[in-house]
Structure 1
Amino acid sequence: MARYVGHTSTKGIKMRASVYLDIAERTFGPRGSLALLRWALAIVFLWFGAMKFTSYEAHGNAPLIDHSPVVSWLNVVFGVQGASDVIGVIELSTAVMLILGALNAAASALGAVMSSATFIITLSFFLTTPRVAEPTAGGFPAISAPIGQSLLKDLVLLAASVNLLLASIRRLHPCDIL
């Protein structure tokens, strides 16, 4: 439920022009919530990154990569397994930055940027990959189980990444960058 709080100086009534949304959930503190996001994202990137070095994962992701105007060049330049290996190195590097980010705001921000970029790219596959929409269910917005539903989870992971990024930037001191 939206709550309006504010101040104006009109006739003694003060009204501020800010609006915020109340939520039912309560947290055990912003740092605890951010730690959960950080470690969950780190585990996802460690796991997915390690899987990229397998033939199973490389060939499973090849069609997604082939249809993407952003990353299709990877399969051309490095081949299917090589492209998967490159993505694996990037994902493992993202995990390392997220882990180091527990101790350093600059590493946290870099890891969160890398994580956000990953999920923006994978969400773009919704627009470029055939068979994301399920024709037997009427087409979009019905999404297919093997491809569409697998990609949709990245929306939550992007939200977690952006949340961590915003918190990292607030903690970042200009000297941390140097």
Structure 2
Amino acid sequence: MSPYQLLVTVSRLDKLGIHLVRFGVAIVFLWIGALKFVPYEADSITPFVANSPFFSFLYAHPEAYREHFTHEGQLDLAQRAWQVANHTYAFSNGLGIVEISIGLLVLAYLISPKLGLAAAVLAFLTPVVTLSFLITTPEAWVANLGDAEFGFP
């Protein structure tokens, strides 16, 4: 293979790279979406949803989440029963379906570039929505406990 042919071949790898990046993005959305069906993940997003002016209405008792918060890996059946009654798991399952759908839409680019464009827009907006939770959740802000470093994380 001549150096020219080698350069031409290598220059065409950008198309492969784009597909590999698309596949990686799909894996991330599928993985994060699947985690939303696991109780500890649903429990961990409770403060973000409960404090959101856009999503808190989906919980039955968003104001009471602090009393029922569990940490990852902690099993407290009374707290889990409260989370069920609060619709924590139903919301998390719905969010998981949305994230898995975005992942599948990213893969659907291979069939339809229009679906791929819709996936790209949704994938772009996802971090905007996620970061908005940091603004409305008090636990996301570092408290002023005497150190010079406090406030926005």
Comparing 132-141 with 36-45, greater Cα deviation is found at 132-141
Shift of 1:139: 1.4
Could you tell me which residue of structure 2 aligns to residue 125 of structure 1?
133
For residues 72 and 55 of structure 1, the distance between their equivalents in structure 2, rounded to whole angstroms, comes to: 18
CA distance in 1, matches of 2:103, 2:148: 37
More helix by share: 2
Q: Secondary structure at the match of 2:139?
A: coil
Q: Which residue of 2 aligns with 1:47?
A: 31
After TM superposition, the score normalised by the length of structure 2 is 0.66
Secondary structure of 2:54 counterpart: coil
What percentage of residue pairs aligned between the two structures are identical?
30
Q: Does 1:73 align with 2:81?
A: no
In the TM superposition, residue 30 of structure 1 has moved relative to its aligned partner by: 4.6
Partner of 2:151: 140
CA RMSD, 1 decimal: 2.4
List runs of 5+ in structure 2 lacking aligned partners. Answer: 1-10, 62-85
Q: What are the equivalent positions in structure 2 for 1:22-171 lying under 5 Å apart?
A: 30-76=14-60, 79-135=87-143, 136=147, 138-141=149-152, 143=153
**How many pairs align?**
116
TM-superposed CA distance for 1:134, in Å, is 2.5
Larger RCO of the pair (alpha carbons < 8 Å, separation 6+): 2
- In the TM superposition, residue 137 of structure 1 has moved relative to its aligned partner by 5.4
Moved more, 27-36 or 105-114: 27-36
